[in-house]
Amino acid sequence: MKRKKALITGAASGIGRATAIRFAKEGYDVCLNDLQSTKLKTLLGEIAEGNHLVLDGDYTDVKTIVEGERMIRQNWGALDALINCAGLSEKTNPHEMELGRWRIIFDSMVNGCLLISQLAVKFMNNGGRIIHITSIHGNRAERYCSSYSMAKAAINQYCRSMAIELADKGILVNAIAPGFVDTPMAIKDGENELESQWFKDNYINGGHLPLRRAAEPEEIAGVALFLAGADASYITGQVITVDGGLTVTF
């Protein structure tokens, strides 16, 4: 049976790492992309065996995209799925910061999303899947998160637009919007916000998070696997919220 091929960005840690492990376990060959090359090599030695590739580099850098295109063409020749898990977060103040500094977060994620999607489409045929990990921040607001939130909102809309653009090619495009997830991104100012008194008071004791816990990265990876599979053949242009019920209450 022919093995499927998946390109996974942000694969060195968090959701990306869990996604790489899950897809390899399910029989995919995976191309691992991240800036953290040492962690990628470590991950490569931990996942299930396959014809895997390592594309270390910044997915917003055209040089990385060109190298990725070369690697996939030379080693695989086709691509079945892109799972774009790469992301970064930094406090931004929309009414005081210099524009260039404010745009770093926004441009990195939005431009990276565009470039990596363009790469993927070149190798996809009917049945291809593009899945971007966004966030519930894409339709909610939090202090000092304007650049991050706007980037995620832009990617959500990009998925909807690309779902229409690529429908005739048989390529499905969706997004997953997690809430709290236990990843390195939860560590802010040296503290894991999931272990803070603020989180316990508001989301566990206060009941604002019905399931009263953050997600594990593997739980997001499972949704990505579903969207990449045969059972999701009639889902496109959607933002699937995976937040433990956080956004259905107040």
Interatomic CA distance for residues 141 and 27, integer angstroms: 39
Catalytic residue among 28, 59, 148, 203: 148
Q: Any idea what the Cα angle at residue 222 is, between residues 158 and 1, rounded to 5°?
A: 95
Q: Enumerate residues 6+ apart whose C-beta is below 8 A from 42.
A: none
18: enclosing H helix or E strand: helix 14-25
Q: Could you confirm whether 148 is annotated as catalytic?
A: yes
Give the DSSP letter of residue 4.
P
Which region, left, alpha or beta, applies to residue 181 given φ > 0 means left and ψ of -120 to 50 means alpha? beta
Beta strand pairing call for 5-9 and 81-84: parallel
Instruction: Indicate which residues carry an active-site annotation.
Output: 148
